[in-house]
Structure 1
Amino acid sequence: MRIKTLFAALFAAILATALASTVFAQDANPFLGRWDMTVTPADGQPYPQWMELTEDGGRMEGRVQPRGGAWHPIAGAHVESGKLIVDVAEEGHGAGSGSEISWVLTSPSVGRLTGVETHGDVTGPALVGVKAPLLDRPMPKHWTKPRPLFDGKNLKGWEPIENVENNKWVARDGELVNDNPEVPGQKMRPAANIMTTEKFQDFKLHIEVNCPEGGNSGIYLRGRYELQVGTEGGKLPSHEMGAIYSWYPPPAGAKNDLGRWTTFDVTLVGRHVTVLRDGKMYHDNVELPGPTGGALDSNEAEPGPFYLQGDHHGVIQYRNITISVPKK
């Protein structure tokens, strides 16, 4: 009995030491982890970005999701006089390539960053970061009956966003159409995107799309995570039809098969997403590390709308858009 008591006491002491070491490590570097960033220019509207920092052998590494395009590695990061200085490499440049763009950040409270972006000697936009939420939720057992998000007759429940003066979205023949054809030899003005007026948290989405050859669009889940529609020329699989843009490519050997109707069934719970295309598994409960380029905001804990990209060229057609949500 005494041996058991001594063993229990010893185990408790070891556990306490391990926990204390973990807490100390976290306190020693409060900058590690995933951060939902908001950038506010002096004369403009705030926009989202995202950052993840890790440590390997005492060296800080990481990646950044800029306002648009794909995520990319940072060039480096270090802590100096209590401030985190992140060397934000330009897109297409790897770590260590160097960059004149830096983020200078402090952590005034747990789970929060504040600072500025600098461009050489010039101080730029203000930065605020919050620790990205885990969003670790179980799969709901029951879902509501699917209901339409688009009635096929008009744009009720939808509104254009960005470049609204050049809105090309129309309801036509039961379809939601971005009537924005490419005209050879003519420079195109950016057209509007479109989003639902209703916001959602966890859901099952059914949506059908017909994207022409060379067309480019995207389905944004909660307005933050892009399911790629169309093509960006085929150079990067993670930028092609059915990809979770820049995070996960479609299955190996998958074809874009543009110019025909295709169906996506998407389940998003927390930050885990499952995507089937025409009944074939494209993404099986994969984790979304953070927002993709083009996100409306970086408020990952909050519900958000669906939005469809219309600012690229191509007469993109959507139809039969329905949603189910968890039953309460």
Structure 2
Amino acid sequence: MLFARFSLIAAACLMAPLVLHAKSPFEGRWNFNIETPGGNRASWLGITEKDGQLEVMYQPTGGNVYQLKDVKVEGGKLILQIGAASATRPAMTWELEARDGQLVGVQKRGDSSTPLTGMRAPALDRPEPRNWSRPQPIFNGKNLTGWEPVGDPSKSFWTVKDGLLVNEKLGANLKSTGKYQDFKLHFEVMLPEHTNSGFYLRGRYELQLECCDSQAPPERRHASIYGRIAPVNAPGPKKDQWDVFDVTLFGRTLTVVQNGVTIIDRRELEGITGGALDANEAEPGPFLIQGDHAGGVKFRNITVSLPRK
């Protein structure tokens, strides 16, 4: 009997570290589609555990990803302070539970609440295609066939002039009617001074476009994946000159070449960026061009190559 008790105690001691270091059910990357009065909005959480504490990166529906400072786990719930109270608005919090492989909960701000469901982000771990099709134009240089405004068409100022795709003034965003999964994208863009735009891949990952002297951090400047990936040795943008981009995306692996210089080399896209159309990362998505930040941006020679089957 004494030997049996000793064996049970020894077994419990061996198992204790496993229990103490069990992986938190909140860990991982999570995608959220949030229904609002203005339509669907996309958000993201990246949660890791370090030294027994959860570190939470938060991608709001707009702007850049950042680390949350006020993170608590109480009664099996993950409680996040998303926004502090101000003179005009109450604080915003998320309360989430891990349930059936999802994060389920509610967003609270004052007396209002919004249901939340976070889906675990897909790995998208697939090999690079061996062969690609010949580049095909997705802008014909004559009209907006293959493209449509996002939201109210009366607020769209996209047009075609002299074979160029032009946003005449600040207004609606523009998206392709076609949807794409893995691709090689080519486009050329001309930016006036003090212009901010962006070219979204799959409608979820913004390639930042701006001119010219940004004071933002490198991961939020021209040719970055906004808030996510800073370009390396990127040629600086010059107003009213053509900037040439070649983008290869398969799964989460991204390469960007600007004016013949590889500025992002096989980097992983960890998650969506602000302004994403949705958080359905496993699905094909359109190309989206920002028109709601500034006017005067011009594009030409927009083509796409797809994997050969």
TM-score relative to the length of structure 1: 0.83
Query: Counterpart in 2 of 1:103?
Result: 94
Letter in 2 for 1:83: K
- Partner residue in 1 for 2:144: 155
Count of aligned residue pairs for this structure pair: 289
Contact 1:75–1:89 (CA under 8 A) maintained in structure 2: no
Matches of 1:60 and 1:256, distance apart in 2: 39
Partner of 2:181: 201
Measured after TM superposition, the shift of residue 314 of structure 1 is 2.7
For residues 51-108 of structure 1, give each alpha carbon's deviation from its aligned partner in whole angstroms, at most 9, with x where no partner exists.
1111111111111011111111112322222221122256xxxxxxxx9321101122
Q: Secondary structure at the match of 1:238?
A: helix
Work out whether residues 164 and 191 of structure 1, in 8 Å CA contact, stay in contact via their aligned partners in 2. no
Alignment of 1:171-182 (within 5 A): 171-180=160-169
State the distance in 2 between where 1:139 and 1:205 align.
Answer: 15
Which deviates further from its counterpart, 69-78 or 168-177? 69-78
SS in 1 for 2:189: strand
In 2: Cα distance, 1:232 partner to 1:117 partner: 38
Q: Which amino acid aligns with 1:160?
A: P
Distance in 1 of aligned mates of 2:116 and 2:211: 33
Q: 1:312 to 1:261 in 2, by over 3 A?
A: same
Mapped partners of 2:114, 2:146: distance in 1: 34
Assess if the C-alpha contact under 8 Å between 1:170 and 1:177 holds in 2: yes
Is the counterpart of residue 212 in structure 1 residue 162 in structure 2?
A: no
Quick one: which of 195, 199, 224 aligns to 2:204? 224
1:247-283 CA distances to partner (integer Å, 9 max, x unpaired)? 1223257422232011000000101110000110110
| Paired residues for 1:272-291 under 5 Å | 272-291=253-272
Q: Is the 8 A contact 1:55 1:61 kept in 2?
A: yes
Q: How many Å apart are 1:232 and its aligned residue?
A: 8.0
| Distance of 1:82 and 1:49 partners within structure 2 | 22
Q: CA deviation at 1:133?
A: 0.7
2: CA distance, partners of 1:324 / 1:70: 29
Counterpart selection for 2:106 from 116, 120, 126: 116
Pairing 1:32–2:12 present: no
- State the alpha-carbon separation in 1 of the partners of residues 136 and 233 from structure 2: 33
Question: Residues 72 and 79 of structure 2 are in contact (CA less than 8 Å); yes or no, is this contact kept in structure 1?
Answer: yes
Whether 1:71 and 2:65 are equivalent positions in the alignment is yes
Alpha-carbon spacing, 1:206–1:44, altered in 2? closer, same or farther (3 Å): closer
Q: Distance in 2 between matches of 1:77 and 1:55?
A: 12
* Residue 275 of structure 2 corresponds to residue 294 of structure 1: yes
Residue by residue, what CA displacement relative to the aligned partner does 1:290-319 show, whole Å, maximum 9, x if unpaired?
111111001001000001011122311101
Q: Matched residue of 1:46: which SS?
A: strand
What is the CA–CA distance in structure 2 between the aligned matches of 1:132 and 1:138, rounded to whole Å? 18
Contact 1:214–1:314 (8 Å) recurs in 2: no
Query: TM-score, structure 2 length as denominator?
Result: 0.88
Q: Is the deviation greater in 79-88 or in 260-269?
A: 79-88
Of residues 239-248 and 211-220 in structure 1, the stretch that sits farther from structure 2 once superposed is 239-248
* Structure 1 pair 191–44 and aligned structure 2 pair: CA distance change class (3 A): closer
Q: CA 1:222 to 1:32, structure 2 compared with 1: closer, same or farther past 3 Å?
A: same
Are the equivalent residues in 1 in contact too, given 2:247–2:255 (CA < 8 A)? yes
Secondary structure of 1:25's match? coil
CA distance in 2, matches of 1:234, 1:44: 30
Residue equivalent to 1:127: 116
* Separation of aligned partners in 2, 1:159 and 1:228: 21
CA distance in 2, matches of 1:122, 1:55: 32
CA contact (8 A) 2:211 2:238 kept: no
Q: Deviations over 1:213-255 (max 9, x none)?
A: 1111110000000001114851112222211111122325742
> In the alignment, is the contact (CA less than 8 A) between 1:205 and 1:265 conserved in 2?
yes
Q: Which residue of 2 aligns with 1:93?
A: none
Listed one character per residue, the Cα deviations across residues 181-222 of structure 1 (whole Å, up to 9, x for unaligned) are xxxxxxxxx511111101000000010010111111110000
Q: 1:232 to 1:75 in 2, by over 3 A?
A: farther
Rounded to whole Å, the distance in 2 between the matches of 1:144 and 1:251 is 28
Structure 2's unaligned 5+ residue stretches are 1-13, 85-89
**Residue 48 (structure 1) aligned with residue 37 (structure 2):** no
- Which AA in structure 2 matches 1:279? G
